Every structure is written in C-alpha cells, then in structure tokens.
Amino acid sequence: MAGQGNFDWAVPVMRTGYAGRALVYLVVAGISLWAIVHGGQGQSTSSAFARLETAPFGKVVLFAIFVGMLAYAVWRLLDAAFDLEAYGSDGEGIVARIGMCVTGLIHLAIGIGALLLVFTASSGGGESGISKAAGTVLNWPGGRWILAAMGFATIGAGFYYGKKAYKREYRKHLMGNEVTRRWDWLLRLGVLSQGFVVTVIGVFIVYAAWVYDSQSAGGLGDVFSWLSGQPYGQILVGLLALGLLCFALFCAVNAGYRIVPKASDPDIETLKGAFSQSG
C-alpha cells in the first residue's frame, strides 16, 4: 500500500543519509577506540578523517561519507520543507523543522570536509570547525549574545536527545521487528551518548561567549580531551567512544527501518507499538 501523498522518492534519500551518518560515527568512534587502546586520545571528526585519508581505500570511504552527508542534508531540508515527519506548523513544530535545516547544513559541511580530503592533502588538524565558526560569530555586531544563544540552543538539543533516550521516544519512528527489538537497549545508549556530546559542546560554546574567546568553543575532540582530564578519564573516554559506536548503530538502524509518516504505509507497526503489545 502506498504511503500518504507522493513522497516515496524521499525514502531512499533518507536511508542513504542515515547510512552516511552511521559511517561517520563508525569511523570517528572506531578510530578513537583504536587510539585509546594504543595509549592515544579520542579523535575529533576532522582528525579521524585525516587518519582515514592515508588508510587503504580511505578515500573511497571519505567519498562515501560525502555522498551520505549530502543525502542527509537533502533529506533534512526536504523533511523540513514538506513536513514529511508530521511535526506540524505550531510553535514546537516550526522549531523542530528549523532544527532540521540546521542539522542538515552541519552535516553538509562535514561531507564537504570529507570530499576536500579526497582531492587535497590534509592540513594535519588545527583549529576545530566549531572554534572557527565561533570566531566568525564573535566578530558580528552583538556576536557574543548570538554565540551564547547558539550555545544554549545546542544545550537544548542535547537535552532533547537525553529526553528522547530516557522516554524512548525514538521508538515511534522505527519499525517494530526482531532487529529493532533486539538492539533497542543499544539504540537507547547511543542516543544518550550523542545527547551527552551535544550538551557538552553547547556548554563549551556558551563559555566561549562568556569569556569572548572562540578557542574555548570546541567539538567532539574537545569533549574527549575534557573527559580525559577527569578522574578515570581514559576509561570515560573509552566508554563514550563505545557509546558513539552505539549511535552509529542507531543511525544504521534508522537507515534500514525508519518510518516516514507521509511516505510509509500507515499500517506499519512501530517499535513503540511492538513493545506496548509485548508489555
């Protein structure tokens, strides 16, 4: 039975996008774990990509990441424009759809970074993309307040991930089948781990606005670095890397089994429904 409307074409774009997102987290978390086991530190996205650049078939993987991130960006923009996941047009729905546009553009930037490494040599690290963006914003009129607002919005997004994990709200977007039921606890852990990372990044951004220093803003690599300085830091870093591997699994499961309300059969049983019946 056809889905609601004529949006069937959006589903393969969505699945490609989530597959690309899964690949990104698999690469970053996998390389981070390898580094930790060998006495190193967790890796930022850019440093993980730079390591991948010199690996066998690394540039093929980088190009696949670019394709996936491009698809994810297109999916998010289409999702927001056509409200494919039925968030609505009230205040909360509009905020959710704006957030889709922002996350789409962020992932497009990640994809472009991967593509550049396919054709050019790595610069070997340097300032993170978030720090560079923070520096640009701080130079705007009222930039400190704009950056602080961005930081608080990022913290809010992190809390949203946490709420989604705590209440298992992600279940309503997934098909209920043996795969999703079996791995549900890992999916929950992955969403929670992503929420932690996003929240800490948001705190970094707010702090950068407070001290008026773009270098205080940072991304995943800075989260790993901050954790490593805590008691039992190396263990915490390893646990977070494992959690992000779970988030890679979450993205992969979404690639295979995510439900798009306006493009899927309305009779498909969700993971939420499957657990409700079993309960």
Residue 117 main-chain phi, psi, to 5 deg: -70, -20
Bridge partners (DSSP) listed for residue 174: 258
The predicted pLDDT at position 253 comes to 97
Give me the pLDDT at residue 1, please: 38
Which pLDDT value is given to residue 251?
97
Q: Is this model's pTM higher than 0.85 or not?
A: yes
Pairwise CA distance, residues 62 & 168, whole Å: 32
- Residue 51 neighbours by CB under 8 Å, 6+ apart: 31, 43
Place of tokens 């690996």: 55
Integer CA distances (angstroms), 270 to 175, 212, 220, 275, in order:
4, 46, 32, 9
Burial of 279 (0-12, 13-18, 19+ CB in 10 A): exposed
pLDDT tens for each residue of the chain, 279 residues long: 334 457 788 899 999 999 999 999 999 999 999 988 888 888 888 888 888 888 888 899 999 999 999 999 999 999 999 988 888 888 778 877 888 888 888 888 889 988 988 887 655 555 567 888 889 999 999 999 999 998 998 898 889 899 999 999 999 999 999 999 999 999 999 999 999 999 999 999 999 999 999 999 988 989 999 999 999 988 999 999 999 999 999 999 999 999 988 877 777 889 988 887 665
Are the C-beta atoms of residues 98 and 80 closer than 8 Å to each other?
yes
**pLDDT at position 267:** 79
Enclosing H/E stretch for 194: helix 184-211
**Alpha helices in 56-142, H assignment, sequence order:** 58-82, 91-119, 129-138
Task: Give the closest residue to 149 by CA, choosing from 159, 138, 160, 139.
Answer: 138
Burial class of residue 266 (count of CB atoms within 10 Å of its CB; 0-12, 13-18, 19+): exposed
Find out whether 76 and 100 touch, Cβ atoms under 8 Å.
Answer: yes
Residues 105/135/63/101 CA torsion (nearest 10 deg): 0
DSSP state of 268: P
Residue carrying structure tokens 């988030």: 247
